[in-house]
Structure 1
Amino acid sequence: MNYKTHQERQAAFEKARSKNIVDVAQELDMNLVKNGRTYTWDLHDSLVIDPNKNIFYWNSQQFGGGVVKLVQTIKACDYKTALSYLAQSDVKAFEAVPEKRQQFEYHLKEHHTIILATKYLKEERGLSDDTVAFFHEKGVLAEASYTTDYEHQKGEPVVVFKSIDNNQVIKGFSAQGVWRNQTYGKREHLKRNQGDGLTGMMVKIGKPPTMVTATKDKPLTVVAFEAPIDLMSYYELFHHKLTDVILVAMNGLKVGVISKLVANELNSEVKEELKVKALGMIDQRENLAERLKIVLAVDNDEAGKAFKDSLDFESISVISHLPKQIPGQNKTDWNDMLRHIKVPQSDRFQSRLTSARQKTQGTTEVITDKHLQR
């Protein structure tokens, strides 16, 4: 299927990805098993389809995506073939059912100090005192008590990563437990997210331009991460090179977080429901698109790479800055890289013996950051 213009190609893509993913899966002869609000594939139950978000994720393979990616995966075909298949499909468009969200209220009882938070971030995450202090002074990091059992009034201390908008309103938070607890499974720590889901922890370094004041030579540069601790780790590694940029944690792989951030830098009065579509609209206006640069500092794994591929923009500059893969691992995030670099070579063998969770090995490498150079 040939398209003469980018607009035609984009229209075809939008029409294809708007197809209902459950109906497409059934058309592909996938036998789905309903499991609560999601579906799993009977042949591979780690492939989960979320009908509310119209996406799938294959946990065992560590990748996922929308309708187009599902067709590519099941039919083992390329992108163009998948688009052609969907263009000829009679499957109806996906109709999202808006979620009823309650107004978020920040209710955590913050501690007067961040002693426990600092201890956790230093000893288990390898972050420095200076890095922890920097984010605390920015107002996005705190220590608080998180209630885990309201009936018996039980809770535990957590590190709080706040999602604050340009008006200094807290729109949500991520909580990371500092105590180990086997009841939390493999991660061993409590993890909770609350808020609007589209505002992540954000920190401005230097004096980044807005979308109004940005130029082609000095664009608004947004560096996006999957998690707050990855953001902090990246800052520690590259703070001497970071000038006039915005760092944001997506709490996953959510292009809507980036889109809303950029929309607020362009015009905060835009309706909330339009902010998640801002990147698509900006991409169609070259005079705006050339003022924006997105750096995806996500995990080095299949899901992170698939996320980059899913951002099919014609004019907006989108580049990846992934951590180098640590030998012996199939996934490396920026905190893995920070700890890998900080562990002295002579201590590596002993570290592996004393902690089954420590997987770093090999030689340390100096990371060069060509992506942030203008």
Structure 2
Amino acid sequence: MTPTPAVQPFFEEEHEEFRGVAREFVAREVTPHYAQWDAEHLMPRSMWTAAGGAGLLGLAVPEEHGGMGLTDYRFRAVLDEELVRGGALGVALALHLNDDWVLPHLLAHGTAEQQERWLPRILTGELVTSVAWTEPGAGSDLRGVRTRAVRDGEDWVLNGQKTFIGNGISGDAALVLARTDGRAERAGEDSFSLFLVHRTDSPGYSAGKQLDKMGVRASDTAELFFEDVRVPGANLIGAEGGGLRQIRQLLPQGRLAVAVAASAVARATLESTLDYIRERTAFGTRVLDFQHSRFEVAELTVEVEVTEAYVQRAVHAFNAGALDVVGASKAKYWASERAKAVTDRCLQLHGGYGYILDYPVAQAYLASRLLTIFGGTSEILRETIGRDAASTG
């Protein structure tokens, strides 16, 4: 009989060493305080500076700017796993907004002066960023963005409104997508530009009330308003008119981030559920010993393992520079939908206790519902995947 070939482990020794740092940080700085942050709907700045001090921010920032230059996305996956196991998906998503949605634009399209000015501050947690793309009338349809920036000498004057902005209250600066073509007709490919807009330097930049979310409440989300905000020309990120192209180019990393977080949620929820049904009894029998429970566990285990393998393949593709928008959309769609389904079925295995917010499965259930929306809804992703399949079939 031919022996089964050995499977190369996804994580290597250096990743497990990093896991020790991440686990210690979560145990010391996050888990003891997360319930309070969730109740207050806000994480303190001390969390960011502590994460910076532990070397957990801006992993991909090059050494020349004080970073470690860790472009291997497996390090980010390790951090997600530890945060999710510590019951702190809100922290994971807040860090993703900073490191997977804003930082890539600064690394790929920022000038040398911009990188020197901003990257060291991101590393220390001094500069917390948000992504200000979505608007009340334009969610996933970025061509529907109505916020406008008009050139005035060396500066731009910005007017508009954004919504669903993570880190909108706590953030120091927002990566704003604004229309810059000055035309009245429907926007084209070159109609938009990206600006990093700083709150303290920008009169007219204000945050509305914090939006009261059903889950992930420790991570703040708000509306942002820009009224005649003067933005220095030096804060334009990339080429004028290149905003949509830049977003499309870097979208795979953002969607991969959600896929990785979703996979971690599914795994952690399954493991905590197994612990629960090993101890919980009904009619004198462990819940795990009922045939229905074992069948559920069998299906859930396979779903989680398949999801992990699929997401790990996407991570390898990203590390090799081969993950495109369609590939990232597939990973994000599959992993987020599986996380939603897994947490729902795990909650059912908890019975009445699954409905109590003190239990991790209830928090995971609420949090996972966001994952099929954040970073592109499942409906939009299916459209992207379906169009690609139709054009290549």
Greater strand percent: which structure? 1
Fold equivalence (TM over 0.5): no
TM-score normalised over the length of structure 2:
0.25
Higher relative contact order (CA 8 A, sep 6+): 2
Greater helix percent: which structure? 2
TM-score normalised over the length of structure 1:
0.26
